[in-house]
Amino acid sequence: MKKIKKSKYVQTIKKEETSRWKSLMPLIVLAVLAVAILAGVMLITSSDQRTLTSTSGQTSGTQTSANQDTEEQALEKSDATAQSCYADIEIENYGIITVYLDGEAAPITVNNFVELAKSGFYDGLTFHRIIEGFMMQGGDPNGNGTGGSDNTIVGEFTDNGYANFLSHTRGTISMARSSAYNSASSQFFIVHEDSTFLDGQYAAFGYVTEGMDVVDKVCADAVPIDGNGLILSDEQPVITSITIREAEGE
């Protein structure tokens, strides 16, 4: 049988195809490597986000966990000491809110609040900022969020390096401040509904034991004039007095 000879034209096309694939091979390899690197970067980013999410939450109340124990070892315990006690905050036409002040969790903050209360600093001041479902804030001699006492104190919260794990749940009392961590002075707020996103950023120093119905009423009656919760000066609930009482068994 006679062999059929391949056409020179066919042979030329195959040579050109082979040559083309050889020239494209480095580009294909680079493309595969780029895809692999991109996949690796996305995996690392996703992993980092999960880590941040799992470690950024704060523990509520007095509950403890392995993560909290580790954090406590890395944070400072204040050298200051304070006696835990009760504060009776009397609000004109509303009643009394009784707050337990935790001297162990935030001794500097408690001492500052107690000293101001005993000196009569808060008498006649108001709650100038009230947002129902969030908090009621007071203790500003200017009545608009710009004032304070003559002193500022260190911020006893975890973002500032202090081992204070009180959570901003309903009824927590905490210190207001500016963007500066160590700027708290006299202004404080009482949490109306759980606001745990504040944990680690503000110095919580106690919690309401009696009188949450008063907090509810004050917040329900409030008519803010702006989105920041500012109340008209003649409508701001007045603090008649704050009386400090020793905690039994302390």
CA nearest 164: which of 91, 30, 71? 71
Give tens-digit pLDDT for 34-57.
Answer: 544 443 433 322 323 222 222 223
Quick one: DSSP state of residue 76?
B
Is 60 exceeded by the pLDDT of residue 70?
no
Number of separate helices (H) and strands (E) present in the chain: 4, 8
Give the model confidence (pLDDT) of 177-195 as tens digits: 999 999 999 999 999 999 9
In terms of domains, do 150 and 217 share one?
Answer: yes
For residue range 71-108, what is the model confidence (pLDDT) as tens digits? 444 466 667 889 999 999 999 999 999 999 999 999 99
Taking CA atoms, 60 is separated from 63, 78, 107, 197, in Å, by 6, 20, 19, 11
**Does residue 207 share a domain with residue 113?**
yes
Query: Do 94 and 202 share a structural domain?
Result: yes
Structural Rg of the chain based on CA atoms:
32
User: Is position 227 within any domain?
Assistant: yes
- 107 shares its domain with 155: yes
Q: Is residue 63 part of a domain?
A: no
Other Cβ atoms within 10 Å of 124 Cβ, number: 12
Q: How many domains does the chain have?
A: 2
In a domain, 49, yes or no: yes
Domain that holds residue 16: 8-56
Round the average pLDDT of the chain to a whole number and report it: 81
Query: What does the longest C-alpha to C-alpha distance in the chain come to?
Result: 121
Same domain membership, residue 16 and residue 110:
no
Q: Do 135 and 235 belong together in one domain?
A: yes
Domain annotation covers residue 72:
no
Buried (b) or exposed (e) across 137-165, using 16+ Cβ within 10 A? bbbbbebebeebbeebbbbbbbebebbbb
For position 101, which CATH number holds? Answer: 2.40.100.10
**Domain identity same for 48 and 150:** no
**Residues 32 and 90 occupy one common structural domain:** no
pTM: 0.71
Residues in the chain: 250
Structure tokens at 104: 């162990």
What is residue 247's predicted lDDT score, i.e. its pLDDT?
85
In the predicted model, is pLDDT for residue 125 greater than 50? yes
CB burial of residue 68 (10 Å; 0-12, 13-18, 19+): middle
> Are residues 104 and 48 part of one domain?
no
Cβ atoms 152, 183 nearer than 8 A = yes
Residues 220 and 113 in one domain: yes
Q: Name the token pair of 247.
A: 């905690």
